[in-house]
Chain A
């Protein structure tokens, strides 16, 4: 979802887009005299140059600018930790962290849902499997802004399909996009709905990797479908589930475009619903405080880095690798 930040036209997107899985890189034993010489390095160079120029360099710049007050047209003055002091005293920041965590938490629910759907769709002999898969994947490839516009109509309190239906059965639904907390849940539901497709594709690939012999053997031992799902499918899917939880967390912390399009920037509940990236956007392009915005960017980077690290530490306890 790093395109959300790029759309905001910032040169600081790298601050929110740490390379996923960086902490799990395997360490290769380095040979002093490689028989390949410097050829491998040459092949990596174009990509490395691109990443260096468009990710690492802006990231370092963002860190630098977070210690400055940055003029709108360039030119910055060193202000030390002033932006960070302000960050810690800003009640909006705390609220944005809470909002972002709630949003990400709801998004994580999408993983177990996707596990169930993926297992159902992978049952042998299922008819129209391709059609189902396309239906689930479609929201993921559609433009988030376009999707938000559609959901804005669905959620509308006056004529939206949800509250109109509730009214038929005598329930007065909440004003979804203009009531505190409901607005956040409304955004998260759309995010969840969009993420199922991607989650399912990853999980389907994981399911295809489970040897069929395991199911046969367990069937001979008398295991039913439910037991097979719990004792074979889920444990052997844990590497995929782990990957998804890391990705979901990163995507969740980059919530911006959907929030912006679904609620609208002038929505009265926006101050109570805004995410960290929204705050960053507002500081950078609303208030023209790009130094402070950089500090928010660095904060997002640190939070994502910290949670990713924790997840990699915890994975030893619950992730089973097949070998």
Chain B
């Protein structure tokens, strides 16, 4: 009676093997040949995102995608940002990544270097993706080891927000494109000195990396990461950090502790701050605030070098390298990178789309605010948001050490040296 067992066993093995081969019939990383007839692309795919405010726009995109590909069912998986990448990592290690998902700069290299993402070269070869449609710095963020992995979805740059009413009351002229750091400091000081009694402070700037530290360091000719080394201990970077420390020291700007209680930009929205550097994602919040009518935007002031720089960052759409339904996922990712999709996004006011020339809707969303500044920043003086393979490790070091410099607790140069050393240590571990 042993014989039947052997047969059953053999049959089971055969089944398993056939299951394997059928499972790997599609390839998520090889050349792409989407069928002539879109209706022949079928099946379910998942699309992971983290912003609930953008979900309606994403549903609109899917509906529009379905007019061309009626037989692909795309389901949106929403996870709040604090858990999003933790979940994505877990899904990556168990081989259950969503088919298409949002990616950000700090995580790109981590996922790309672990072969989690489908490279975009095959898309380019099949004319389904063209990097020249997007700001080049955005392409840089999503490129690892010479290969691009993310289709830029939207972008943000940094500019100077100011409250016209507060400036007028303090007798400060509205900022112009010629403002230098000294002009900026003097204006903030004058506001604090004049209106300090009412709890109004000149600048709402703080230790925010993306909005304050990075643009200042880059404007001054410094770097955050230079190759595989930290740029924080360069004289240019130290000078930029000193600029912020000086602002805090004489009350022109908020201390890190005051920022922990009520964040600088929230104070700006409450009408308690005259000037603040901020990203374009702040615009919708400004429009909903009580100060909406008084706010306008100008270029960042010029560093002592005579230059200005902004960091540019944004979300990208990426595809899993292990998608079970690569054909449908490829079709969807290609659609998400189209001008059509960018215009739908812009119209929904969800985000500032990354596709060149589709940002007019965003600029028009606040006609009096001069939002064109953000778009010009992207084309004229933007540098890629600094990332590495394990960005989180040194972001933590920045978070721990920079406040010590801005609060005046320790000399800026000492903190910068410490920061560079610890950051280099973290970067060395990435090898």
B116 in contact (CB, < 8 A):
yes
B46 in contact (CB, < 8 A):
no
Give 1 or 0 for each of A3-20: 1 = CB within 8 Å of chain B CB. 000001101000000000
Is the pair A72, B89 in contact by a Cβ cutoff of 8 Å? yes
Chain B residue total in the interface (Cβ 8 A): 30
Partner of B407, one of A71, A268, A271: A268
Whether A268 touches B396, Cβ cut-off 8 Å, given contacts A72-B114, A73-B92, is: no
B283 in contact (CB, < 8 A):
no
**Chain B residues within an 8 Å CB radius of A11:** 90
Q: Is the interface of A mostly helix, strand, loop or mixed?
A: loop
Q: Give A158 to B267 CA distance when docked, in angstroms.
A: 11
Partner of A268, one of B90, B257, B395: B257
Q: List 13 A-B contacts (CB under 8 A).
A: A9-B87, A9-B90, A159-B262, A175-B257, A177-B261, A178-B257, A265-B399, A268-B207, A268-B257, A268-B403, A269-B257, A287-B390, A288-B393
Partner of A288, one of B87, B258, B390: B390
Is the pair A288, B407 in contact by a Cβ cutoff of 8 Å? no
Q: Give A285 to B90 CA distance when docked, in angstroms.
A: 11
A-B contact count (CB 8 A): 77
Is the pair A287, B393 in contact by a Cβ cutoff of 8 Å? yes
Chain A residue total in the interface (Cβ 8 A): 30
Partner of A177, one of B86, B93, B260, B393: B260
Is the pair A268, B114 in contact by a Cβ cutoff of 8 Å? no
A74 in contact (CB, < 8 A):
yes
Is the pair B261, A74 in contact by a Cβ cutoff of 8 Å? no
**Chain A residues within an 8 Å CB radius of B396:** 282, 286-287
Q: Give A250 to B427 CA distance when docked, in angstroms.
A: 36
**Chain B residues within an 8 Å CB radius of A134:** none
Give 1 or 0 for each of A204-240: 1 = CB within 8 Å of chain B CB. 0000000000000000000000000000000000000
Residues on B facing A (Cβ under 8 Å): 83, 86-87, 89-90, 92-93, 110, 114, 116, 199, 207, 256-262, 390, 392-393, 395-396, 399-400, 403-404, 407, 426
Give 1 or 0 for each of A132-151: 1 = CB within 8 Å of chain B CB. 00000000000000000000
Whether A289 touches B393, Cβ cut-off 8 Å, given contacts A9-B83, A179-B257, A268-B256, is: yes
Least CB distance from B390 to A in Å reads: 6
**Chain A residues within an 8 Å CB radius of B399:** 265-266, 270
**Chain A residues within an 8 Å CB radius of B256:** 178, 268
Is the pair B257, A158 in contact by a Cβ cutoff of 8 Å? no
A293 in contact (CB, < 8 A):
no
Is the pair A178, B393 in contact by a Cβ cutoff of 8 Å? no
Is the pair A9, B86 in contact by a Cβ cutoff of 8 Å? yes
Partner of A73, one of B87, B93, B426: B93
A264 in contact (CB, < 8 A):
yes
Least CB distance from A221 to B in Å reads: 58
Is the pair A178, B261 in contact by a Cβ cutoff of 8 Å? yes
A263 in contact (CB, < 8 A):
yes
A311 in contact (CB, < 8 A):
no
Q: Give A179 to B261 CA distance when docked, in angstroms.
A: 10
Q: Give A112 to B12 CA distance when docked, in angstroms.
A: 65
Q: Which of A13-54 contact B (CB under 8 A)?
A: none
Q: Give A271 to B86 CA distance when docked, in angstroms.
A: 22
Is the pair B260, A263 in contact by a Cβ cutoff of 8 Å? yes
**Chain A residues within an 8 Å CB radius of B390:** 287-288
Q: Give A73 to B260 CA distance when docked, in angstroms.
A: 34
Least CB distance from A185 to B in Å reads: 16
Is the pair A264, B260 in contact by a Cβ cutoff of 8 Å? yes
